[in-house]
Amino acid sequence: MIKCLSIQTLVLLCSLQAFGQQRFTKSTFTDYFNEIKAATAKNENLWDYDIYAPILFVQPDTREIYANYPDTAQVLKKDGSIFTGILPKTVNIANTSIHWNGVHWAMVMLPLPDIKENRLNLLAHELFHRAQSHLGFTSFNTDNNHLDQKEGRISLRLELEALKAAILSGSTEEMKRHLTDAMAFRLYRYKIYPAADSTENILELNEGIAEYTGMMMSGRSAQEMQNHFLKELEQFLTNPTFVRSFAYQTIPLYGYLLQKTKYEWNKEITSKTNLTKYFIQAFAIRLPNDLKSTFYQIANQYNGSTIIAEETAREEAIKKLVAEYKDKFIEQPHLEISFQKMNASFDPRNIIPLEDKGTVYPKIRITDNWGILTVTDGALMSPGWDKISVRIPTQFGEINVIGDGWILELNQGFIVQKDSASHNYILGKK
């Protein structure tokens, strides 16, 4: 029986940026490092701290590393002005902050965006994550499964439509009206889902502030910034789910609008700040008493009829998908793997909550004391992040155990066996 559970750094498999196809040379990476070094120095006043630091660029298919600093274990070798090596397979590849070989790094997957401003946005975002503990922010993520439910998605989409209208506003008065409507949609969501105020705030403090930092250090002009927001919002709506990606949109939008009149607002934010209350006060927003009535009165100003129709249709489709996943990972025999010292990487854009049963991750990679689990076609993460379930094994080997859409590389001393009582399979020690 595994008694000690420890969830280490939760990392994101990919950034919400568009990547290009690039050919790399040593001078390419030198240019990348110089670009972001100049950008962070130029924007040091954003946090009164230069967030430039050790960076690992990693090629996912070959695990090749290109770094701007050496590691203390001397795995990386100096190669001109950069350092190169191979990342061990026990380390997950992601856009994240990571401690490896005695150094605290910002890790970024290759290829990087072709457009310089998008590249700087991404790098500054990950450098913020590396610096956030120094800046007083704790690194913590939480699920927001209400944003996969019909009413939660409708209210979020309406809030974003109002924020888009605020970005396009031609006057301060018009902007404030749209901001007021955005907050009305948000607070109505919190009325429907009372815990959402807390859970959304946690992710917005973590990913939202990081993305705001990246945006502000990107070097975009005012027109380029507006175009960036419109393109990102359009792309965001194509995500299968919003539960872990919404904060990349909300806080940069509110923050960009606020910095026009209160440039250093972010310096007032701490890990204890309630961002919704903060923005209401900062924008001097006066909200109506009857949020439900207001919600339905103003919804059609922001494409409400279409949004409600689309989300009603989606809800029916999702019900069928949820039923299929419940059958695969709960009702039918499956393999359950408990965690000891887990580290995971995944794509936050396509996860599927299964009510109170946990969340399905279509693609996820987990390392632990027992080895490496690579999932390419669905796995169910428990609500407490203490175990994961995959479909039954179909091939057994001393090192590799394989099932439909997954492979488990076992460390010595561990074995997958059938549990006669439940007819499920379990991973345990020999």
**Where do the domains of the chain lie?**
6-131, 145-302, 334-429
Cβ neighbours for 408, distance < 8 A, ≥ 6 positions apart: 337, 371, 372, 373, 393, 400, 401, 402, 416, 427
Residue type, 29: F
User: What's the pLDDT score for residue 23?
Assistant: 61
What tokens were used for 336?
């359950």
Model confidence at 398, in pLDDT bands (50, 70, 90)? confident
User: What's the pLDDT score for residue 20?
Assistant: 44
| Size of the chain in residues | 430
Model confidence at 1, in pLDDT bands (50, 70, 90)? very low
pLDDT score of 425 more than 60: yes
User: What's the pLDDT score for residue 13?
Assistant: 46
Percent of residues, the chain, with pLDDT higher than 70: 94
User: What's the pLDDT score for residue 298?
Assistant: 97
Mean pLDDT on 51-69: 97
User: What's the pLDDT score for residue 167?
Assistant: 97
pLDDT score of 21 more than 90: no
User: What's the pLDDT score for residue 218?
Assistant: 98
CA distance 198 to 361: 23
What tokens were used for 207?
């990913």
pLDDT score of 349 more than 90: no
Residue type, 149: Q
3-class secondary-structure state, position 123: helix
User: Half-sphere exposure (CA, 13 Å, Cβ side) for 363?
Assistant: 10
Cβ neighbours for 197, distance < 8 A, ≥ 6 positions apart: 190, 274, 276
Mean pLDDT on 392-403: 94
Model confidence at 422, in pLDDT bands (50, 70, 90)? confident
pLDDT score of 42 more than 50: yes
Model confidence at 8, in pLDDT bands (50, 70, 90)? very low
CA distance 241 to 378: 15
pTM strictly above 0.75: yes
Residue type, 400: N
Mean pLDDT on 309-324: 93
Alpha helix segments (H runs only) across 327-421:
none
Among 411, 125, 408, 136, CA closest to 270: 136
**Angle at Cα 217 formed by Cα 215 and Cα 222, nearest 5°?**
65
Model confidence at 3, in pLDDT bands (50, 70, 90)? very low
User: What's the pLDDT score for residue 5?
Assistant: 38
User: What's the pLDDT score for residue 421?
Assistant: 84
User: What's the pLDDT score for residue 136?
Assistant: 92
pLDDT score of 187 more than 60: yes
Q: What is the mean pLDDT of the chain?
A: 92
Tell me the per-residue pLDDT of 79-104, one tens digit each, with 9 for 90 and over: 999 999 999 999 999 999 999 999 99
Q: Determine contact, residues 287/187, Cβ cutoff 8 Å.
A: yes
User: What's the pLDDT score for residue 22?
Assistant: 53
pLDDT score of 372 more than 50: yes
Mean pLDDT on 389-395: 96
Model confidence at 18, in pLDDT bands (50, 70, 90)? very low
